[in-house]
Structure 1
Amino acid sequence: MKKTSKLKKLENSTQAYSNTERMPVLFLGHGSPMNGIEDNEFVQGFKKQGKQLSKPNAIIVVSAHWETKGTFVTAMQQPRTIHDFGGFPKALYEVQYPAPGNPKLAKELTHEVKPENTIGLDDQWGLDHGAWTVVKHLFPNADVPVIQLSINYTQKPEYHYQLAKQLKNLRDKGVLIIGSGNMVHNLRQVAWDKINEDYGYDWAIEADAKMKQWILNGDHKSLVSFQKQGKAFDLAIPTPEHYMPLLYTLGLKDDQDDILIFNNKPIGGSLTMTSVKFG
């Protein structure tokens, strides 16, 4: 059976690399999985950015919700929509984001990095909620190939920052790279009675403010060494998986990139939705 012309077009989209404009890099504070079906101010922020983006050849997402021993990239033709959460309304589990994968780009990624930074090909994962709940608002037609790059939990922060630097040239090939997590993310400290309010604990506001200051000043060293920044950061980042996607976007940034901070609010005391566009 012959493949449809649409699928062929998607598979061949990366062949036009040299004719595409340089893509920005996004860090998206993805927050609750409910952002996949709600139309709140944060979702509106995602949609606004989506309208300003040129259609990329492909999208790479580094999601807080795919941690692995070793680094992997999804390489299947049609990634499944993963509903990796519990206790939410039925409507959320019914959402499908049928974007195609891009095995060609996945294989290319394995050749982009230094030998000591091996990236393996994965055919099991798919698109977790850190990916599809935000990408669907950027490209609702699911007509851009999407692959995910995992977070190697055995490696230190500097490793992730340096690995991202090796992928910079993909921006010039029409590839949009997205880090999806939350800069401040402490679920144990959430004030559930204020989960829908613009409210942050003092330590959350302090850590978020310093992060934004360092982002704007280009102080990546302080951001990479977040574990040495004191009590506010210890509370803001009790585990690193939601913060690591930010380090990937910092590594992909160039000095000439403009910086835009949006969705700039805390919620529930111990979470921030702060999102950043570089470029």
Structure 2
Amino acid sequence: MSRLPSLFLSHGAPTLPIDPSMPSSEFAALGARLPRPRAILVLSAHWGTNVPVASTAEAPETIHDFYGFPRALYELHYRAPGAPDVARQAAALLDAANIAAQTQPRGLDHGAWVPLLLMYPQADVPVAQLSIQPHRDPAHHYALGRALRPLADDGVLIVGSGQITHNLRAADFGAKPGDGDPRVAEFTDWFEARLAQRDIEALLDYRAQAPHAAFMHPTDEHLLPIFASIGAASDDYALEIQSLGTYQRALAMTNYVFAG
């Protein structure tokens, strides 16, 4: 099997699968055109721990880690099998890279199951999760990705799931899709130019170098998974951008594929 790409997904609100105004079909199209993986390893913004933890659940539950949404959302379940072998392999790779890791059984939070429900609706690809460390910096998460690179050569799709811009305090839930704060485009243009140039040093220092970084990310957790995705990619990756618009004025729905 050829090397699989790594992904970063802007998973949006939990209502992505049931809100017709959101770009759910585009997630399905992305899943359809990717090489089929034997398993998926997801690093979600919604599972943070002090050290990396890989989930060894055999049949991970669907975690509805939100409140105040329509009843239909809580009735959705994503019943993909777990990938405990991949979780244990990930932990071993991290340990070998001198990054202490642990394992435990855990379900899939919405950062994992919401996009996967759209991309792999048959729920027939085994899934494991790996936690992020919100108190650690982008360089730490890039190192996580580099340690996990061998998985991409073994049929595992490594997915970072967060949001390329994420400031809920600035969100306007009455805004029309595409009616974005101009600072969103300035930030994403900077970020995507550095991604295309493979300027890892600048990307890891985004908080000091990117325009409006603190506004776009008051806290880091929704961007940290992209650094793992970059780390997991080949040094000479080809960048593909799936831009799906800006919602609630401050949330850019953009997905990134690091191929090759």
State if a TM-score over 0.5 links the two structures: yes
The 5 A counterparts of 1:119-268 are: 119-123=101-105, 125-194=106-175, 196-229=176-209, 232-268=212-248
* Structure 1 residue 74 displacement after superposition: 0.5
Instruction: Name the structure with the higher helix share.
Output: 1
Regions of 4+ moved over 4 Å: none
- Secondary structure of residue in 2 paired with 1:73: strand
Query: Aligned letter for 1:165?
Result: R
| Residue of structure 2 in register with 1:66 after alignment | 47
Distance 1:214 1:131 in 2: 26
Deviation at 1:231, TM superposition (A): 5.6
**Counterpart-to-counterpart distance in 2, 1:235 and 1:142:** 36
Whether the 8 Å CA contact 2:16–2:22 is kept in 1: the answer is no
1:51 is matched with 32
Which protein is bigger by CA-based radius of gyration?
Answer: 1
Instruction: Choose from 248, 256, 259 the match for 1:276.
Output: 256
For 2:173 and 2:125, how far apart are their aligned partners in 1? 36
Residues 265, 274 of structure 1: 8 Å contact kept: yes
Q: Secondary structure at the match of 2:174?
A: helix
Deviations 1:154-204 (A, max 9, x none): 32221111121011111110000111111110000112220x420221222
Residues 22 and 73 of structure 1, relative CA distance in 2, 3 Å threshold: same
* Rounded Cα–Cα distance in structure 2 between residues aligned with 1:276 and 1:175: 17
What is the letter of the counterpart of residue 170 of structure 2? Answer: Q
In 2, the alpha carbon distance for the partners of 1:54 and 1:218 equals 23
Query: What is the correspondence of 1:55-94 to structure 2 with a 5 Å cutoff?
Result: 55-94=36-75
What's the secondary structure of 1:278's corresponding residue?
Answer: strand
Deviation at 1:40, TM superposition (A): 4.7
Whether the aligned pair in 2 keeps the contact of 1:204 and 1:235 (CA below 8 Å) is: no
1:70–1:154 contact (8 Å) kept in structure 2: no
SS of the equivalent of 1:176 reads strand
1:118 equivalent to 2:118? Answer no
- Mapped to 2, the partners of 1:223 and 1:115 lie a distance apart of 22
Offset, 1:153:
2.2
Shift of 1:116: 2.9
Secondary structure of 2:53's counterpart equals: strand
The root-mean-square deviation of aligned C-alpha atoms, in Å, is 1.5
Closer, same or farther: CA 57–33 of 1 in aligned 2, 3 Å: same
Structure-2-length-normalised TM-score: 0.94
How far is 1:134 from its partner? 0.2
What SS does the aligned partner of 1:263 have? strand
Instruction: Specify every segment of 5 or more residues in structure 2 that has no aligned partner in the other structure, as ranges.
Output: none
1:106 equivalent in structure 2: 87
Q: Residues of 2 paired with 1:131 and 1:272: CA distance?
A: 18
